[in-house]
Amino acid sequence: MKGLLISRNDLNSWIKSLAEKYKTFAPVRTESYDQFSMITSPEEINWAYRNTRLSPKALFHPHSEKMFQFSLDPRDPSKNILKEAPKDFSPRVIVGIRPCDAYALKLVDLNFDTSQYKDPWWTKRREITTLIGLACTSPGLTCFCKAVGTGPFDTRGVDILLVPLEDAFLLEIITEKGQILVEKYNPGGQEPPPEVLNNVEKLKSQAESAISSFGNLELLSENSVSDFFDAPLWNEVQFGCINCGTCTFLCPTCWCFDIQDEVYRDKGCRLRLWDSCMFPLFTLHGSGHNPRAQKVQRVRQRFMHKLKYFVDKYRQGVACVGCGRCVEFCPVNIDIRDIIRRMISLSECAV
Ligand code: SF4
Ligand code: SF4
């Protein structure tokens, strides 16, 4: 790993200059949890945060977003107006994003940015945002990134990676976007001496070894959907689930949404709102038929989508980056790690 060794003071000055030019977001401590908020000064950043309660996906795919607005002229329909709602696409920087959350954005790209379909707002926001990641030197008890193919020092989703050291940071430039930020707003710093690089490697392997493996995840793709679909596992898992949707709303790789029109007299707007496969209304057809009317079908869908359908469709591993949010906040303690283990053991039986 190569990079720049920069002092905490230099890093702060650099972030201050970024915040003067770009909309800058970073983890900020609220009363009882951390969340990505817009900052104007580096003093607002909580560098010691473990992870935010809500993932930063809302900065790209907001909880609710006005897509279009319209007004009707009942006397003269030629004066009806339909236009895209104004949006702010000024350049932004996200400082301190965790490697798992940054990689999650790449997984969501597979859905919102394809050769056939491009979500205009997702792709634009991805384009205007530079991600400055923060490596995790002490993964939390519910973190399992390494076990699902990412890692506490994973650089695949970020433009720059910061590794926190005692009173300094190692800044590693990963992409051209990251290079531009460093060239334009010189953060100072120096070439790190070999002992610093050795220390960083040590921190990396310590962090990675704090996360235990589930076994062979590849087995999930080697078996067919039918090996899992009718397994008794789903009946057991669904029993406690209250379909609150917390897991899906917190998850950095869940992207489901609903579109609704709000109309008042002759004006209205079209909204895009987060939705959840855990809600019965999500799949209710206009005919009244619901292909996932039962809770067991919805619970199975959530896990099969992340751990089987996504795997088969995109061949990019599972749609879970191991951030641990759903494990930590499910009110009835449903634990995706347990489900992964059980699906792997079903696979082993089937092979
Ligand atoms: S958070 Fe737990 S209880 Fe709520 S929908 Fe998800 S699995 Fe079910
Ligand atoms: S499924 Fe759970 S652990 Fe995996 S990325 Fe989503 S919230 Fe994080």
pLDDT digits (tens, 9 = 90+) for 17-70: 999 999 999 999 998 999 999 999 999 999 999 999 999 999 999 999 999 999
Task: Decide: 347 in ligand 1 pocket, CB within 6 A.
Answer: no
| Mutational test site, ligand 1, from 234, 278, 325, 329, max ligand atoms within 8 Å of CB | 278
CA distance 114 to 319: 16
Residue nearest to atom 8 of ligand 2 (CA): 323
Q: Cβ(146)–Cβ(211) under 8 Å?
A: yes
How many other β-carbons are positioned within 10 Å of the β-carbon of residue 88?
Answer: 8
One domain, residues 167 and 246: no
pLDDT band at 247 (very low <50, low <70, confident <90, very high): very high
pLDDT band at 216 (very low <50, low <70, confident <90, very high): confident
One domain, residues 225 and 194: no
CA distance 13 to 188: 10
What per-residue confidence (pLDDT) applies to 1? 52
Q: Has residue 78 been placed in a domain?
A: yes
Structural domain containing residue 255? 219-350
One domain, residues 174 and 321: no
One domain, residues 152 and 248: no
One domain, residues 137 and 15: yes
Q: Has residue 84 been placed in a domain?
A: yes
168-173 vs 160-164, strand pairing mode: antiparallel
pLDDT tens by residue, 221-239: 888 898 899 999 999 999 9
CA distance 345 to 221: 13
Q: Has residue 214 been placed in a domain?
A: no
pLDDT band at 2 (very low <50, low <70, confident <90, very high): low
pTM: 0.95
Task: Decide: 273 in ligand 1 pocket, CB within 6 A.
Answer: no
One domain, residues 62 and 16: yes
pLDDT band at 304 (very low <50, low <70, confident <90, very high): very high
Task: Decide: 253 in ligand 2 pocket, CB within 6 A.
Answer: yes
One domain, residues 56 and 199: yes
Give how many domains the chain has, as a whole number.
2
One domain, residues 236 and 322: yes
One domain, residues 271 and 296: yes
Residue with tokens 């610093």: 196
What per-residue confidence (pLDDT) applies to 351? 57
CA distance 174 to 98: 15
